Amino acid sequence: MEMNKTTFDQLHGSIDVVAKRKGGEKLFIDLDICNSDQCDECVIKCSYFYHHVNNGMISLIELATYALICRQCEEPHCVNSCPRDALEKIENGDTLVRHTALCVNCRSCSHACPYGTIYPQIVPYLANICDYCSDRGDYTCIPTCPYGALSSVKGKVEGENIFELGNRLVVHSTHWDRSKA
């Protein structure tokens, strides 16, 4: 394993839980709802209880945000503004990564991003994590979102602004696309 190089897998668990979920169920997030005025703060109950007050959803939202909404600036203000060098723009992966062990939750990045991509809530001091509820039964989070942003889907989901992130997550989000800019 390459040292200190964070990969997607590393961040979100090398425990491959997909096999254990029957039927290839995937979690579906409507990020537009999450980011709309409807929802001020994520209130889902996450069943991942290794950590107190863990809200795995936030880590998923963060992930999706960086992957889909972030403009992938050439000269990223956020990265430059981070006092702890916790943000990194991964060149070939075309995504932003926040190294949780370094971030001190100062939220400079939130202020620095000219597009308001980085919501203050998604850079918590104590990192959250979602393991897709591995084999603990159904997703606990889905019924607890009052705004209906979450659901579980099977198979391939088609539609505008719907993206698959990895093999467990599907996101609906108004994607910013460099090619369309």
Partner 1 sequence: MTREEVLLDFTSRFHADILDLEDKSNTRLYVDIKPESIVRIGTYLFRNIGARFNIATATDLPPKIEILYHFILEDINLLISLRVFLDGEKPEIESLAKEIEAFNWIEREMSELLGITFIGHPDPRRLLLADNWPEGVYPLRQDYEEWDNTSDRTRGV
Partner 2 sequence: MGKTIIPIGPYHPLQEEPEFFTLTVEGETVVDIDMRMGYNHRGIEKLSEMKTFENSTFVVERICGICSTSHPYAYTRAVEDIFPMEVSMRSKYIRTIIAEGERIHSHLLWLGLAGHFLGYNTVYMWAWKLREEILDVMEILSGNRNAYAMFKPGGVRRDINAEDIPISLKKIDSILPTLDMLKKAVLDDPVLHARLKGVGVMSYQEAIDFSALGPTSRASGVARDVRKDSPYGAYQEMEWDMIVTKNGDVFDKAVIRILEMFEAAKIMKYCLNNLPDGEIDAKIKDVPPGEGIGHIEAPRGETFHYVKSDGTNRPVRHKVRAPTFMNLPTYKATIKGQTISDATIILAAIDPCYCCTERIAVKDGKGRMLYNGQDLIRLSRSKTEKIRQRMGGR
Tell me the HSE value of 4 on the side-chain side, using a 13 A CA sphere. 4
Residue for token pair 């939130």: 110
Q: Does 68 bind ligand SF4 (CB under 6 A)?
A: no
Tell me the HSE value of 105 on the side-chain side, using a 13 A CA sphere. 8
Contact with ligand SF4 (CB under 6 A) among 68, 82, 97, 122 = 82
User: Measured from the CB of residue 118, what is the shortest distance to ligand SF4 in angstroms?
Assistant: 5
56 and 64 in contact (C-beta within 8 Å)? no
Q: Does 83 bind partner 2 (CB under 8 A)?
A: no
Question: Of 21, 13, 36, whose CA–CA distance to 145 is shortest?
Answer: 36
72 and 66 in contact (C-beta within 8 Å)? no
Among partner 2, partner 1, ligand SF4, none, residue 27 binds (CB under 5-8 Å by kind): ligand SF4
45: left (phi over 0), alpha (psi -120 to 50) or beta: beta
Contact with partner 2 (CB under 8 A) among 45, 83, 125, 135 = 125
Site string for ligand SF4, 151-180 (x = CB under 6 A): ------------------------------
131 and 13 in contact (C-beta within 8 Å)? yes
In the complex with partner 2, the residue whose CB is nearer, 2 or 177, is 2
User: Structure tokens of 102?
Assistant: 């370094």
Which range in 107-115, 127-135, 141-149, 152-160 contacts partner 2 by CB under 8 A?
127-135
> Could you list the residues that contact ligand SF4 (CB under 6 A)?
27, 33-34, 39, 42-44, 46-48, 56-57, 70-73, 76-78, 81-82, 84, 86-87, 96, 98, 103-109, 113, 115, 117-118, 123, 130-133, 139-141, 145, 147, 149-150
